[in-house]
Each structure stands twice: as C-alpha cells, then as structure tokens.
Amino acid sequence: MDSMAGTIRKVTLWSLGLLLLSAAVIAVFLATAGDDFYRWAARQLLEDALDRQVHVDGTFSFDVGLEPTLVVTDVWIENAPWAEKSEMARVERAEVQIALMPLFSGIVQVPRLVVEGLTLELETGPDGAGNWQIAKAGGEDGETAGQKDLFYPLLEFISLKDVAITYRDRQSGRDTEILLRSLQKDRLAGDSSFAIQGDGRLNQSAFRIKGRFGSLEDALAATAPYPLELTLDTSGLVAELKGTAQNLPHAEGFDMNLTARAPSIGQVLKTWESELVLEGRAEASARLKGNLESLSVEGFVFEVVEHSGQALHAEGSLSDLINAKGLNLGFTGNLGPEIFRPKHDLPDELRDILNGITRLDFVGRVAGDLEELVLERVHARLNHRSGADLSLQGRIALDLSDGGLEITGLDATSIISLPSPALLERALGRRLPDRGAIHATAELSLAEDWITLRSFNAKAASLEGLRIGAKGRIGKLLTQKLGFEFNPQLKVSASIDQSRPLVSLFAEMANDVQPSGRSVLDSLEKTSSPSTRKPTEGSDDDLVLWIQQKLEMLGLHPGPEDGKMGPRTRAAIEAYQAEHGLAVNGLATEELSHHLQQEIDSNRQRVAREPDDLRSQTSKLEESMPELGRFGRGRLYGIAAIYSP
C-alpha cells in the first residue's frame, strides 16, 4: 500500500510539474511572440468566424497579461459577393481589453472597449438574405449557428465615437441610417454603479440615450436581481425600459417594464420614413419576462388618440419576442380620410375613389407568428362621401416572411351599399343606367392564389324584386405587396320573385319604354308565393326563416334560407338595419319583421301606382323573353350567363 501511495504521489507531482512547465513555456512564447504572429492569429480567427476576408491595413499591437489588450487601426472586412459595396465594415481605431480570470467561470468581462470611426454596411438582397448571415457547413447559416454560441459580455468602460450604421433593404428600396456621435459608459464617481449616455441621429432625426446599471460586482455575483434602466428620446418619442435581471452575464431572469409615449405619432412615423399617415398622441406599455433567448411580452397595450376622433387600440401578448412567435393581439379603431390618400401614381378612377373615403371602423384579433399572421374575427366598415358603405368580416391569413405582404388565406363576407351607380361609373370609366340604390352581398375565399366568389347577390332599388347572382373567380393575387390581376370568370344569374310585377324590370331594360302595367301585376298577384306573409305563430326558426326570405328578396341575404341564425344572416340583418337607420344589433326580432313587411308593402304600393299605357310594348318584351332563358308568360324564373372577358 505504501508503495502504491508513493507511486501515486510521484505521478501527481510529475503531472503538476509538467503542467507548470507547459504553462511557463506558453507564457514565455506569448510574451516573446511578435505582433505579426498575433496579427496572423487574429485574422485567422475572424475569417473563420465571419467567413469573410479581413484586412489590417494599419497598426496592430497586443499586450499580454491577465487583462490582455488589443489595439488595431484601419481594419476592414469584405462584403458578401452580391452586396452593393465591397466593404461590410471598416474601423479606424479599436481597443479591446479582456479579463482572463472570469473566463474560467464562463463570463466574458471587458474592462475597456474603445471604438472610433466605425462604418457598418448592412443590406438584404432581392431574395431577403442578409449580408451578415454567414454560411456554415451542413447548410446552417450564421444566424442559426450563432444562436447556439451566444455569450453576453460584461462591459465596464465603453467609448464609441462616430459610429455609422446603414441598413439597405433591396426588397422595399428603403434605407435606414444611424449615426452615433458618442456613447460612453463608466462608473459613477463615489458609486459602484454605472451610467451610460450618448447621442446621435436616426434618419436625420436627433436622439439621446441615457441609463444606469448596478455594480460590476453585483453582476458577477448574480445573487440578487441586477437593476437596469435605459431611456431613449427621439423625435418626441420617449421610451423607458426599467427592471432587473436575475443573472446578467448569462442573460437570464429578466423582469422589465417598457413604457413609451409620443405627443405626435406622425413625427415618429416620419423619422422611420413610413408612408403611413397617422396623427395623434401615442402611448404603449408592456412587461418583458424570461431569459433573453425566449423573452416573452405580457400585458402589451398600444393606443393612438387624435383630437378629430381617430383612434387605434391594441392589447395582447407575444410568447417569444426574439423569434417573433406566439402573437395574440386584439385591436379596434377608427381612421379618418388622410390615411387613404394615395402616395403613388394611380389611375384617376382609383385615385378618385380613395380620395372619397371618409372613415374606416374596424375590430378584430391577430394571431400567429410575425411572419405568418392570421387576422381573425375581423369586422371592418368603410364609409365613402358618395354615401357608399362597405363592410367586411371574416378571416385573412398573411405571409410577411420574404419582406413583402402576401395573402395566403381568405374566408370573408362583404356587404356593399351604393346610393347610386356614380361610384361604379368612376371605377369602370363608363356610364351606367341609374337604377337607384344598389345593395350587394358577396362571400369570398382564396384558392391557388385566385380570389373566388363563392356567392354574390345584388339588387337595385328601382327594379323591385330583382336579384342578381354570381359565382366564380374574380382575379389572381400576385406575389409580394398585394399585387392583383383582375381576370373575372363568373357564372352570372338573374331572377325575380314571382310576386313582383315585371313591367318595371322590362321598362328599365328598354330605353324607349316607361314603367307601367296593371295587367301583369294582376296576373302575378294571383300566383304570389305563400311565403310573402309574415308568420304569426310558430317557433323562432319560423321567424328567422321568414326574415331570411325577405332579406334575400332585397339582395342582402346570400342564402340558404334555413331558419338558423348564423354569421351570414346576422350580417344581412345588420346591413338592413344600417340602411334603414335602425339600431344595428343583428337580431331577428318581431320589430324587424314588422319593418320588413312595411318596406315590402310600401314597394308594392309604389309599383301599383305606375301608369298603364304601355301594355303593347310590355307584351312584346314578355313574348321575347322565352328566347333568352327559362321563362313563362307573365312570370320570370331566371336567366343565366357565363361572363369571361
């Protein structure tokens, strides 16, 4: 046993001696190695990490010690081959000091960092790839690979001067420029905590940064929440981030409150060169919790209020901020006409229509990831100065992954009310016969990039009982930025309720015929549908069915008439209530049925008073109608056609 113990002691001492000797040799080598060796080693490390050529055209010095210091001048890094400029980054002078002892604990401590004259060119190519993304073996890009090797340095003294960062998005054609004139972080006099302050310009708008942090000793110990406070002030926007981190060196346990306020959201949008026209006071707040790699946003609230009545409100959460996933946000608001003013050259017809928009009200919820959003339970209503009213409700899926905006899913119902054909005339660029108010309901979906019209029902007020229907494809969505190719391929049908006089329809269709015809009215009233009287007894389903039938006659309900309350029936009721100045609640009530019956009776009386002196012209029209479709004498059941220009 003593012999074995002695052998172990000898081996241990020999191993320790060899280790110390090796350390001494390494220390002597590092102390005697020249700057040329360190220049070569540093270049190799950077080129391997960045997959870019690195050039050191100036001086290079490296001081060895427990806190080695590197000082370089005139260093630049080559850009990606497809990039606009040959240089991705250039620095006039950089000084970095690193403490070695904390590295054994997995902590990167930087006692001193000085950077002067840094120029950084960032850009995305037409395919959305960034020049900062580094290709790695196995198909893994640098952004993904880097996330596995993240480290969070503790910076003591920082001095940044004349730092210029430019970001060019070649997909949108937009450039963002940040010029940091100065940024400095240092210990406060007589205190162990740190303060940071700086100033610069963001797209030609000045900004200021200030903040305060706890002591370096507290950060290294990581035994108590570490205090953090940072404030950004630019173009009237003041954003404050305040809270703690449980373990700052490893970026864990954040619990931060974010608040932001701006007296003019329009000025903030101008700073970011946004084309969105929105004015008013803006406020936002949120709570950020978790580790940096999986930081969540809770209790997010954003609100814009403008004195003219414009408002926007959103609140919700985001489960993964860094990876932009898990969005759950409800929104509501109303916007005025300024936001719809066209910023680009548009056809005169479309420009006139957009200039006539007076108000947009909307409510809904957005969910999913920030690159693949889904707008759920959306209900929007658009008002036009012509008196036109357009509402849309349903679900829309969007894809923003390639820097553009593409609709990938659609399931919606739209209701449009036009007081006259004037708006359609401007849109189509041609004169239309004035048939009074026009009401239509459409159900839309998306299939293989085609906007599909599942159903369409319309009626003109002067053509009593007339119903126009259509099904088919409207046009094709083009990739990126909501491009649209109008290419309708529709099956169109027309029908009129058997209880309605046809003379008005024929008279409107013929330029030389005026409304008339008691004889046809008398014959049709004898064959009236039994469903033209409101039920006085029965279940609620009977009432709903009766209301559905009347709304379908008015061109507001797309069908089917099944006596069941659903989103289509509710939307049709809301459209009727809004059209006639009733309280909009979407409910099938006895009061609504009475109003519908009065509307129908009023229309009957108006038609019955039409003159009776054009019977011969009417007879000629009736006799010619069987050649166009499935008609009988004195009654019109329907006509159908295929429309594809």
Average pLDDT over residues 454-463: 77
Question: Tokens 């056809």 appear where?
Answer: 347
Question: Tokens 């009215």 appear where?
Answer: 521
| 358 contacts 365 by C-beta, under 8 angstroms | no
Domains of the chain: 32-133+149-187 (no CATH), 529-594 (1.10.101)
Q: Is 514's pLDDT higher than 50? A: no
Average pLDDT over residues 305-331: 87
Q: How far apart are CA 512 and CA 514, in angstroms?
A: 7
Residue 303, beta-bridge partner list: 283, 313
User: Which pLDDT does position 66 carry in this prediction?
Assistant: 78
User: Which pLDDT does position 199 carry in this prediction?
Assistant: 92
Average pLDDT over residues 547-557: 78
User: Which pLDDT band, with edges at 50, 70 and 90, does 420 fall under?
Assistant: confident
Q: Is 358's pLDDT higher than 80? A: yes
| 335 contacts 357 by C-beta, under 8 angstroms | no
User: Which pLDDT does position 34 carry in this prediction?
Assistant: 58
Q: Name the amino acid, one letter, at 177.
A: E
pLDDT over 70, % of the chain: 67
Average pLDDT over residues 452-480: 73
- Which residue would you say has higher pLDDT here, 596 or 365? 365
Q: Is 230's pLDDT higher than 90? A: yes
Cis peptide leading into residue 560 (ω within 30°): yes
| 128 contacts 170 by C-beta, under 8 angstroms | no
As given in the structure block, the two tokens for residue 215 are 């002591």
pLDDT digits (tens, 9 = 90+) for 55-82: 888 888 888 777 888 888 998 888 888 8
Q: Name the amino acid, one letter, at 455.
A: S
Average pLDDT over residues 126-144: 60
Q: Name the amino acid, one letter, at 563.
A: G
- Which residue would you say has higher pLDDT here, 200 or 614? 200
- CA angle centred on 497, ends 393 and 433, rounded to 5°: 70
Average pLDDT over residues 415-438: 73
User: Which pLDDT does position 204 carry in this prediction?
Assistant: 77
**Can you tell me whether residue 615 is helix, strand or coil?**
helix
| 56 contacts 72 by C-beta, under 8 angstroms | yes
User: Which pLDDT does position 630 carry in this prediction?
Assistant: 36
Q: Is 521's pLDDT higher than 60? A: no
Q: Is 28's pLDDT higher than 50? A: no
Q: How many CB atoms lie within 10 A of CB 441?
A: 27
Average pLDDT over residues 392-417: 84
DSSP β-ladder status, 69-78 and 60-63: antiparallel
> Which residues, 6+ apart, have CB-to-CB distance to 419 below 8 Å?
386, 387, 388, 437
User: Which pLDDT does position 102 carry in this prediction?
Assistant: 78
**Can you tell me whether residue 54 is helix, strand or coil?**
strand
Q: How far apart are CA 180 and CA 207, in angstroms?
A: 9
Q: Name the amino acid, one letter, at 497.
A: D
User: Which pLDDT does position 285 carry in this prediction?
Assistant: 95
As given in the structure block, the two tokens for residue 289 are 């919790």
- Which residue would you say has higher pLDDT here, 519 or 378? 378
**Can you tell me whether residue 506 is helix, strand or coil?**
helix
User: Which pLDDT does position 273 carry in this prediction?
Assistant: 63
- Secondary structure of 342-383 as H, E, C letters: CCCCCCHHHHHHHHCEEEEEEEEEEEEECCEEEEEEEEEEEE
As given in the structure block, the two tokens for residue 352 are 């006139």
- CA angle centred on 356, ends 353 and 358, rounded to 5°: 135
Q: Is 313's pLDDT higher than 80? A: yes
User: Which pLDDT does position 244 carry in this prediction?
Assistant: 94
As given in the structure block, the two tokens for residue 184 are 């400095």
Q: Is 384 exposed, middle or buried (0-12, 13-18, 19+ CB in 10 A)?
A: buried
Question: Tokens 């990126």 appear where?
Answer: 480
User: Which pLDDT does position 315 carry in this prediction?
Assistant: 94
pLDDT digits (tens, 9 = 90+) for 103-124: 777 777 888 889 899 898 888 8
User: Which pLDDT does position 134 carry in this prediction?
Assistant: 65
Q: Any idea which of 78-87, 436-445, 593-602 has the lowest mean pLDDT? A: 593-602
- Which residue would you say has higher pLDDT here, 433 or 399? 399
Closest C-alpha to 114, from 75, 72, 160, 165: 160
How close are the terminal C-alpha atoms of the chain, in Å?
Answer: 103
| 626 contacts 581 by C-beta, under 8 angstroms | no
DSSP β-ladder status, 109-124 and 154-169: parallel
Going from the C-alpha of 52 to that of each of 133, 134, 318, 558, the distances in angstroms are 11, 9, 35, 62
| 482 contacts 406 by C-beta, under 8 angstroms | yes
User: Which pLDDT band, with edges at 50, 70 and 90, does 508 fall under?
Assistant: very low
Question: Tokens 């894809």 appear where?
Answer: 399
As given in the structure block, the two tokens for residue 37 are 């060796």
User: Which pLDDT does position 450 carry in this prediction?
Assistant: 83
Question: Tokens 């039409």 appear where?
Answer: 610
Q: Is 585 exposed, middle or buried (0-12, 13-18, 19+ CB in 10 A)?
A: exposed
On the CB side of 352, CA atoms within 13 Å amount to 12
User: Which pLDDT does position 567 carry in this prediction?
Assistant: 81
> Which residues, 6+ apart, have CB-to-CB distance to 634 below 8 Å?
502, 520, 523, 524, 622
Q: Is 195's pLDDT higher than 70? A: yes
As given in the structure block, the two tokens for residue 110 are 């930087």
| 278 contacts 304 by C-beta, under 8 angstroms | yes
pLDDT digits (tens, 9 = 90+) for 236-263: 789 999 999 998 888 889 999 999 998 8
Per-range mean pLDDT, top range of 130-139, 286-295, 516-525, 545-554? 286-295
**Mean confidence (pLDDT) of the chain:** 73
Question: Tokens 């309900």 appear where?
Answer: 557
Please give the full DSSP string across 560-620, using - where no structure is assigned.
---S---HHHHHHHHHHHHHTT--------HHHHHHHHHHHHHHHHHHHTS----HHHHHH
Dihedral in degrees, nearest 10, Cα atoms 129, 131, 132, 134 = 80
pLDDT digits (tens, 9 = 90+) for 572-582: 888 888 888 88
Per-range mean pLDDT, top range of 266-270, 413-417, 460-464, 599-603? 413-417
Q: Any idea which of 292-306, 315-329, 546-560 has the lowest mean pLDDT? A: 546-560
Question: Tokens 């039994």 appear where?
Answer: 530
pLDDT digits (tens, 9 = 90+) for 592-625: 888 888 877 776 555 444 444 434 444 444 454 4
User: Which pLDDT does position 427 carry in this prediction?
Assistant: 65
User: Which pLDDT band, with edges at 50, 70 and 90, does 137 fall under?
Assistant: very low
Closest C-alpha to 80, from 29, 133, 131: 131
Q: Is 505's pLDDT higher than 80? A: no
Would you give the distance in Å from CA 555 to the centre of its chain? 33
User: Which pLDDT does position 260 carry in this prediction?
Assistant: 92
